[in-house]
Chains A and B, each alone.
Chain A
Amino acid sequence: MKFKKFIRAIKSGDTDKASPNTKQVTGAEIEETIELLKKNTTQINDVIFKKIPTNEGIVTMVYSNSLVEKMTMQVMVLIPLANHLNQIHQISEKIDPADKTEIISKLMGGQTLLYFHDANLLLSIDTYSASTRAITNTETESTVIGPQDAFTESLQVNISLVKRRIKNPMLKNENRIIGTESNTEISLLYVEDIVNKENLEILKKRLDKVNYPSFPDVSILKQLIEDNPLSPFPQYYMSVRPDSIVHYILDGRIVVLMDNSQAAIVCPTSFMDMFISVEDYYNRWTTATLLRMLRFFGFFLTIMITPMYVSALTFHPEILPYELLLNLQESRSKVPFPPLIEVLFIELIIEVLREAGSRMPAKVGQTIGIVGGIVIGTAAVEAGLISNILIVLVATSALLSFLPPIFLMSNTSRFVRYIFILSAGLFGLFGQMLALAWLLAHLLNLSSLGTPFMTPVIPRKAGDLLDGIIRFPTAFLKGRSGISRSQKK
């Protein structure tokens, strides 16, 4: 809040004394600006005002202590001030004291302001040097083959990770500030002669409309610029792997990077993209095809297996083979709940296990995994709470739900599964098929940046089929996908 007031104060000052840039700057004007800055930063304790005597008279130095490292300060500002003043003039930038919004944003961005009292000069030097994490390998999207580096939380580092992979002057990164309170920097990356201009236009319009206070992570921005925010499905691809992001940039998509956020989002994205991992391109095409099929059909299986159990046991015992049915009857004979409750019960326990496992410190987590496994695997069956066949099905579907390379998708599949379980509990297979019809209709209605989400299914381009569920040999994959509607084919 303070900050907002501060900006408002400066802005009001701005309107009072609007002065054109060309006007000769007077010392009084700068003096006034510094005073205003001082007044407004009384509670911002890391902003430091210092008067230093130099060869060119007294210099007032203003900087934010927490964004500038001592070492940088020393090398960039203090030593040159004392010894090589002309070096300061070389690396610094002259600023207009009337433009108060810019001054404050520079200060908050880690720059150092220098006011030369004698020369009536206001300069800024980029000394931003907040410490960042080193580039490490990813733990959330690790692959066996392929580059192991991952994005970090620094926008500069992330952009550099992309740019060192695409050495092309057409690769643009447009930075802009977003977030009414946090003033977070984001960057749009695209290759100018490939990207679809219309897509870029839509995305920019949406970003302009975003009115949200702060962005701890890019996934928040993602939800705000999606076509259908109410849908359970993620409509943009999200990854922390530079190689996968680069693949999409060159395909003609637009990538949004955000400062302080590890992941990048890719717009637009199709449903099929959610099941594609970059590793598929590193693998041989046969292996990649097999894995893609597993992931794609695994998604539909994971939402179908346990509902199938519910509907077969409550409504259609005749579809099961006789021997299996007798087994089921035997194992269910001790279970006090109807199948629907039984399935919901065990599904929820699995969710609890998963959630507990991910929240707990790693060392405790392992124990919980074993305890949970034993408790659910054997004890629950022996206690007669659930049937042992259900355990197998639930475990399978839980494993299947982790197949999609995008974690958001696997979360979605878990949520959608509950819809299917409930509808199976209501009307059996008929309910399941109705739910499937709803799901497909929903997916068909979804769009990502105005392009149909189910693009390879509703083929925009026959070439998409080469890189769909079946990954053709690499020589066939020169073309760009239909969803990016790229300028170059």
Chain B
Amino acid sequence: MNKKLILLILTIICLAGCADKELKVPLEDVGLLGILAFDYIDEDSYKLSAAMPQFLPEAKENTQIFSVTTDFVSKGIVEIETVSDKKVVLNQLRVVVFNEEFARNGDVQKVIRHLYRNAEVGNKVLVAIVKENGEEILKESYPDKPSINLYLNDLLQPSINTAFMPNTNIHDFVYTQTNPVFDTIVPLLEKQEGKIEIDGVALFKKDNMIEELLPREGLIIQALLGEKNLAPLNLTLDKGEEKEELMIDLIKNKVKMKSNKSIESPKLFINLKMEGTLIEYKGYREDELTTLASITKLEKDIDEQIEKDIEELLEDLKELKVDPVGLTENFRMYYKGNWDREMTEKIISKLEVDIKVTTRINSTGTLD
């Protein structure tokens, strides 16, 4: 018995010797791409730029940018490898950026699916659209930032003040693309002198971008999606004698939707409950806002205003026949049979919405 065991172990050791041929590349010889940027050239080809961090203290630039023209992602990566001293891998890919032209005309879906299929790539890769040129965003110098890799990744992470933008990773992208009741929304970036700004939200219809939404509209979409942490809401009330402007820090947000389950004459009841603190106010009521009664009145005015805003947005979406909120899910839930894209468009174009917003202002700060 023991002899057999020893024999077995010996064979294993011998065989392990054979395995040595497949040499693994040690970590320090691996170039970990952090950002991929795609710029549109024509229907078949695009320019692929990639940012690779340089860790050696001797290197002058902490990020190396490669740009190649290609028609396949993997082909582009191979080409990058020919000019890099390292083995290029996608294991730590964090951000994928498309320029607006690519998003409007190119096949975004194909690129994303390639990455989604690749087992090397994690799900946390964030997707963003950039106005004008992706390569330039990578190449621009940001004097007060350690590296573009970290900067862009941190910028796209959800934080309270940018919560109007969707935090879309490649899973979300594929999910909204392939789910007939959803249309994809992706944050839209713009390069400025020495910094990058989140400018708004890019709205997709089917495979391509069709429209740019303002941060305000993005915020409403996020609120309707039931997102818990929302950006502060800036409102202008022009009802009544004078224009009023106010800012509310939202603490709680709850949305309830109910459909009439009818495909022919779809109707949706949306009940949005918001809770927050009034942090700034400019207008004629400034001195009155100390009593509960006046606050209640203000709440009502805010409700009406938000209702109006939402209605306007939905009207726009209706015209475009897109549904980034997934409103039609409320009809699909009760529909037996196959649901496809046409159904969604049919519903959204006929959709009647009944919106009810309830805002509650918890406090107006510590100063009276």
Contact = CB atoms under 8 A, between A and B. Distances in A.
B336 interface: no
B24 A330 contact: no
B259 to A, nearest CB: 42
Interface string B36-69: 0000000000000000010111000000000000
Interface in A411-453: 426
Contact of B16 (A322, A325, A426): A426
B267 interface: no
Nearest to A323: B150
B55 A333 contact: yes
A130 B61 CA distance: 79
A332 B153 CA distance: 25
Interface stretch (A4-12, A111-119, A312-320): A312-320
A322 B57 CA distance: 17
Interface stretch (B26-34, B205-213, B302-310): B26-34
B55 A330 contact: yes
Contacts, number: 51
Contacts of B27: 313-314, 317, 325, 328-329, 332, 339
B120 interface: yes
Given A317-B92, A318-B92, A325-B92, A335 B24 contact: no
Interface string B149-184: 110010000000000000000000000000000000
A317 B56 contact: no
Interface string B245-283: 000000000000000000000000000000000000000
A45 B32 CA distance: 80
B30 A317 contact: yes
A388 to B, nearest CB: 14
Contacts of B28: 329, 332-333, 335
B24 A315 contact: yes
Contacts of A313: 26-27
A335 B153 CA distance: 30
Contacts of A332: 26-28
B91 interface: yes
A156 to B, nearest CB: 41
Contacts of B333: none
Nearest to A342: B26
A318 B153 CA distance: 16
B122 interface: yes
B91 A318 contact: yes
B196 to A, nearest CB: 18
A329 B150 CA distance: 16
B94 interface: yes
A326 B55 contact: yes
A439 B149 CA distance: 42
B14 interface: no
Contacts of B24: 314-315, 338
Contacts of A339: 26-27
Is the interface on chain B under 10, 10 to 19, 20 to 34, or 35 or more residues? 20 to 34
B19 interface: yes
Contacts of B26: 313-314, 332, 338-339
A473 B56 CA distance: 55
Contacts of A315: 24
B179 to A, nearest CB: 27
Contacts of B91: 317-318
Given A313-B27, A318-B120, A318-B122, A326 B16 contact: no
A85 B11 CA distance: 77
A333 B92 contact: no
Contacts of A338: 24, 26
Given A313-B26, A338-B26, A322 B94 contact: yes
Nearest to A327: B55
Interface in A168-185: none
Contacts of B56: 330, 333
A339 B89 CA distance: 19
Interface core residue of A314, A325, A329 (most chain B CB under 10 Å):
A329
Contacts of B34: 322
B92 to A, nearest CB: 6
Contacts of A323: 150
A426 B23 CA distance: 10
A420 to B, nearest CB: 15
Nearest to B20: A426
Contacts of B55: 326, 329-330, 333
B53 A326 contact: yes
Interface core residue of A313, A318, A328 (most chain B CB under 10 Å):
A318
A341 B78 CA distance: 30
Interface in A285-344: 313-315, 317-318, 322-323, 325-326, 328-330, 332-333, 335, 338-339
A315 B26 CA distance: 9
24 contacts: A314-B24, A314-B26, A317-B32, A317-B91, A318-B92, A318-B120, A318-B122, A322-B34, A322-B149, A322-B153, A325-B27, A325-B92, A326-B53, A329-B28, A329-B30, A330-B56, A330-B57, A332-B26, A332-B28, A333-B28, A333-B56, A338-B24, A339-B26, A339-B27
Interface of B: 16, 19, 24, 26-28, 30, 32, 34, 53, 55-57, 89, 91-92, 94, 120, 122, 149-150, 153
Given A318-B92, A329-B30, 7 more contacts: A317-B92, A318-B120, A322-B32, A322-B149, A330-B56, A330-B57, A333-B56
Interface of A: 313-315, 317-318, 322-323, 325-326, 328-330, 332-333, 335, 338-339, 426
A-B complex: 4 closest residue pairs judged by Cβ atoms: A318-B91, A330-B55, A329-B55, A332-B28
